[in-house]
Amino acid sequence: LCTMPTVIKSFTFNAFQENTYVVYDDRTRQAVIVDAGCYEPAEQQALTQFVEQENLTITALLATHSHVDHVLGNAFVKKTFGVPLLQHTTDA
């Protein structure tokens, strides 16, 4: 059972209407981004603005799978937040 106060913020990005999530601990402000689908500059700005507004520290980028709609923002997130991409070895 998870006892930390976890918050989940969802975004719907790109033409595929993919769901990207920011999951964070409300106390420590540490967060992960799950399935970075942010492709357009406005989408990237919305994600970055949320992270800054909530004073979050992004610690990783998680990929549930590597369909195109789920990976469109991987390079942006890795570069912007300086985090590793974590994914299953079969999707690597």
- Residue 2's pLDDT is 55
Cβ atoms within 10 A of the Cβ of 80, count? 17
Q: How many residues does the chain have?
A: 92
Average pLDDT score, the chain: 92
What are 38's two structure tokens?
């942010």
Q: List phi, psi (to 5°) of 38.
A: -70, 115
**Is 43:11 a contact under the CB 8 Å cutoff?**
yes
- Residue 84's pLDDT is 95
When mean pLDDT is compared across 16-25, 39-48, 55-64, 66-75, the lowest value belongs to: 66-75
